[in-house]
Structure 1
C-alpha cells in the first residue's frame, strides 16, 4: 500500500517549532490538556452545560425520534430550505424567544459570528471590538477585510473615543466573556453605539438560556434590544446542542445572509436530530426557571467563598470562574493541584489567553450541590496554602442556601 507523503521540510517548520517550543519547552514533554481522570466523587466543572440539559430525556428522546423517522436529512445549503421546514421554524422560534423578528441557524457559533461579519462589514468599515471578545468575532472582522480597532475591556469611554476618531462602524462585544466570566456593561455600550450610529453585535453564547426572562439573555434582561442590531450565540452552551444562532432586527436579513455569507452558502443545513434536540431544549429552557435560579445560587456560593482566598478571579460575575495562574507551567501545576483535591476544571492558555495569563476555568452548572460548591472553595483555598475551611462569607451563603426550596435534586435528572 502506498504511503501518503510527508510535508516538505520547509512546510514542517511550524509543526516542528510547536513541538519543540511548546510541548517539549513550555510543557516539559506533556500535553497541556491531559490531566488526571476524574474518579468517583470528583467535581467536574469542565464543560458549558450550564443548565444540566445534556442528558435530559425530553431532549434525547426528541433526537432519537428524529433519527428513527423515515424522513431523510436535508443535506444541502440552508438557502434551499422551505419556510415550513423544521429548521426554518426553529429559526423563527429562537428569534422570537430573543425578541427579534428574524433569525438564522448556522453550523456553529463560530460560523455565525464569522459569517455575520462577512456580510455587514468590509474594507471601508471600522470594527470596534472588546479586547476579550471571542476570537470568532475577530476572525469575522478580518475575513471581511475591515480595519479592527480594539478597545479596552469593558471600557465604554475608550470605545466612544475610538469611534469619535475613526467614525461610525460595527461594535462587537460578548455579554459574558468566556475566559474570565466578566460581564459587559451592555447598557452603556448600547447607548454609546446608538449615539454614534454604530451597528452593535452582542455575542450571548454564555448568557442565552442562563439569564433574562425565560432564558432570553442579557439584552432582554436589560430591555435594550432597540439598541442592539444583532444577537449571536453558540447553542453548545446552555442549550447543550450543536449550532449557532443569529437574531436580527432587520426582517429581510435572513435571506440576505443565506445568499451572502460563505459559511451559510457552502455549509449544509443542520441535521434533523440536531434541530429536534434544540427545539426540545428551547421548551425546557423557557419552562424551567429553577435551573437558572440554581445556577446563579451555585455561582454566588463559589464566588463568595473565594473572595478571601487571594486568588485572581478576574472580575467574574457569572457562572464562569477562572483562576489565573501565570505561564503554562504554572497553569499545569494549578490544574494538577486542583485535581488532587478532586476538582476538575479546564486549562485555558494561548491562543485562548494572552501570554503569561493562563488560567483554570471552572464552568459552574445547575447540577452542582451545595456540598460541591463548598468543595470547590475548600480545594482552591488548599491550593494557595490557606485553611481548608471556607471563609465566613461562604459559610453564611451555604447556611442560607440549605433548605432553600430549590429543587436541587431535579438538576441531576
Structure 2
C-alpha cells in the first residue's frame, strides 16, 4: 500500500506527515460515476459539463403584478393626467392567453406571466388605480366576447420605458450556455438550476460511504451508566460527524471491546456498506492494542496487495497511524490513535482528504492561511515533530486554546483552527507569523 519511495520502509521508519498523506492519496481512487435523481445527488460531484437545453427564462415575462402596455400609450402619463387604457383580459403565469395588446389597450398581467404580443413594457399595479376608474368595454371588444378579466378601464399614472419590468428571454442563461462544470459539488442552488433547465437526473460520483468505529473495553455509550474505569465513547461520534461534514455518508458502529477476533469480525461485517473504514484506538504499542493484532496479518488471507501498515509519524498529536486495505475489494482503512484530540487532528489531516479524493474533488485540503500568534508566552514544540495546536482564528490573528495534551476535548470544542509548528521549530514567540489550517 505504500508509495514506491517508502514501500520498503522498515517498522522503525519515522514517516513525515507529507509522506503518509501522499501514500494515502496515491492509493485512494475516486468512486465510479453513477446516474442519480436530483435530490439523491445533493452533495455529490458532477462528472460531466451541463449545457443549457432551453433558455432561462424561456420567454419574455413580467417581473411585477401590473399591466402590459405599449410605451406610446403611457407616454407623459401623470397623476393629474393619467393614461386611460382599455383592459382586454388577464395574463396569468402558466397560461398563454390569445391576447394582443393594440393601441389604447392593456392586459392585466401577473408576475412570471408571458408578455403578450404588442406589449412593450409592464407598469406595476401601484402606478395605476387598479382598474377602478372606468366603465365597461364597448366597441370592438364587447364584454360577452372578451377574454377572462376583460372589461373596464385602468388609469396609469406614470410613463414606462421599453422593456420596463420585463425579464428578457435568456437573461439568466441562454440555450447552449454551460450551466455547471464537471467537478462542481451539487448544493441546493445547483440542484435548483438543474431542475430549472429540465434535468431530472445527473451523472455524479456518489458520496463515499464511511464506516467509523472505536475500540476499547473501557468505552461506554452516552446515556449509559459509567462504572469505575470507564469513559464515554466520544471518538466515534466526533469522527462520524466529521465524515458527514466532509461530504460522506457516514455510519457509526458501537465501540468494540479489546478482542482481536471480535474486532476483525465487526470490520468484515461492515465491508458490504463501506467505501472507507476508519478505526480509532488500538494502534499504539500497548498490550491491548487490538487493531494492530487483528489487522497486521490481514494481507495473508486477502488478495495480494491487501494489508494494513502500522507506522510512526513525526507529528504531535497522532504519532501512531495505520493505513492499508482490507477485503477482496481492497477497501481503504485508516487506523487512527485513540486519544480524542489525536484522532480528530488525524482525521482532518488524513481521513478528510481521503474522503474528498473518493468524491473526485481536485482540492481535497482544508484552506490554510498565515496569522499572527497572539499569546502570553512562547509555544514550545518537540524537535523533529510537526505539531498541530488548537486555536481560534479571527482577523489575521490566531490564539491557542487549551494545551498540547491529546485528551483535551473541551479545548478542542472551542477551536476553529490548527496552529502548525514545523518540525525544525522548537519555540514560537508571541507575535510570530504562523501557518494556520482553518477548520471552517
Asked if Structure 1 and Structure 2 have the same fold, meaning a TM-score greater than 0.5 normalized by the shorter chain, the answer is no
Q: TM-score, normalised by structure 2?
A: 0.25
Structure with more relative contact order (C-alpha pairs < 8 Å, separation 6 or more) = 1
In proportion to residue count, which structure has more strand? 2
Q: TM-score, normalised by structure 1?
A: 0.26
